[in-house]
Amino acid sequence: MATTGLTRSTTIDALDELIDIGLLRELPNARAVGEYRKGRPSRRFELRADAAVVVGMDAGQSHITTTIADLRGVPIASETRELSALDDSADARRAAVLASVDSALRSAGRGRESVLAICIGVPAPVDSEGNSPHHREGFWQRMNPDLRPMFEDWVPIVRLENDASLAAIAEGSVGAAIGCSDYVVLLAGDRFGAGVVVDGRLLRGAHGGAGEMFALDKVLGVGSAKGMGLRLTSWVRDAAAAGEIPAGHPLDSLPKEQLTGRAVLELARSGDAWSRGIVERAGALLARVTAIFGSVYDPSRVIVAGAVAENLNQIADVARAALPDEVDLAVPELVLSSLGARSVAVGAVCAAVDSARTGVLHLRVVTPKFLRSAV
């Protein structure tokens, strides 16, 4: 009553309606559990978190991670499957996405009828209707081959989002952006992608492209949207091919497949001067990319996310030192995410729960099958 401003009778009517559709259960009243003081004993209720499930999916180019969670967002089951690079057709992707959901539901001991909401993150721009714009090479269409209509026949609430946008939702819900209303989350693995939150609202743009990074192709000192993980590996392999790695250096005799960004960062941590030069170069680049977002969106925080983030402490330190010379506005705080490779999958679950909360009472069927069967 205090939170909603409703009278007791109206509040009880609303709670009774939520009980009728299976979202709440009533507990023994305050007198029955020894919390009664005086006057009318309080009625007590709790969310029926097991009344339905939500599905959160990170549908990347090379993998699909699917999580089944209850209505509080607590995971029940999670599975990851690798995708074949030999067949990335639209039909193959739709089949893989659907099979991943069904498999995860079986692991959770639930059926399709128990799903209230699903949120799928894809490496493509996604507008508010779940559609991706045309890509000149067809990549975005392959990553989001009409996934929303495929689920709308049996999932009441379906949501599609760009993967970086879901990483931003994850950071705002359980990560480094809790309590922050203006921030950018930068996915920095193979390619840079950004999820942008301004004034507490996730930005999409007319075609879902608010966080797309093709503009980096035009930025001096950056040159492309190639991500930090891929860029570090490219730099060290290019140096090896050009004979620029000093003779006798630990990297000098390694086969190409072992010349990775991770190897360079490990050597830099141990004090290796040549590897430190790669770190300085990467830090300058990260500072410039951060400065672009600082100038365009004026965030108070920029969070570097993805599996690569856990190894970027040295690079982030260099970037933080360089940022004051790159930004005219107040310098945004540069933070590394602690969610690792899970950020998109975590964000998908958070978004699915949020969509379930806002949409469940607006469904056409007042007493949905998936809730009534659980009452």
Do 53-173+343-372 and 176-338 agree at the fold level? yes
Q: Which of 10-19, 27-36, 282-291, 324-333 has the lowest mean pLDDT?
A: 27-36
Q: What is the pLDDT of residue 371?
A: 56
Whole-number Å distance between alpha carbons of 121 and 178 = 21
Strand partners, 117: 54, 157
Bridge-based pairing of strands 301-305 and 333-336 is parallel
* Residue range 103-157, pLDDT digits in tens: 999 999 999 999 999 999 999 999 999 999 988 888 999 999 999 999 999 999 9
Indicate whether 92 pLDDT > 50.
yes
Residue 63 near residue 81 (C-beta atoms within 8 A): yes
* Mean model confidence pLDDT for the chain: 91
Strand partners, 55: 68, 118
Query: Which residue in the block uniquely carries the two structure tokens 């990319």?
Result: 289
* Residue range 197-214, pLDDT digits in tens: 999 999 999 999 998 888
Q: What is the pLDDT of residue 36?
A: 57
* Residue range 13-48, pLDDT digits in tens: 999 989 988 899 999 876 655 565 666 777 889 999
Which CATH fold topology does 176-338 show? Nucleotidyltransferase; domain 5 (3.30.420)
Q: What is the pLDDT of residue 39?
A: 62
Instruction: Work out the average pLDDT over 84-90.
Output: 82
Spell out the residues 6+ positions from residue 137 whose beta carbon is closer than 8 angstroms to its own: none
Q: Model confidence at 366, in pLDDT bands (50, 70, 90)?
A: very low
Query: Where do the structural domains in the chain lie, given as residue ranges?
Result: 8-47, 53-173+343-372, 176-338
Architecture of the domain defined by 53-173+343-372: 2-Layer Sandwich (3.30)
**CA angle (25, 31, 35) in 5-degree steps:** 95
The b-or-e profile of 197-229 (16+ CB within 10 A means b, else e) is beeeebbbeebbbbbbbeebeebeebeebbbbb
Q: What is the pLDDT of residue 32?
A: 59
Structure tokens at 267: 């050597």
Q: Model confidence at 189, in pLDDT bands (50, 70, 90)?
A: confident
**Of residues 138 and 75, more confidently modeled:** 75
Indicate whether 74 pLDDT > 90.
yes
Q: Model confidence at 375, in pLDDT bands (50, 70, 90)?
A: very low
Single pTM value for the model: 0.90
Indicate whether 84 pLDDT > 80.
yes
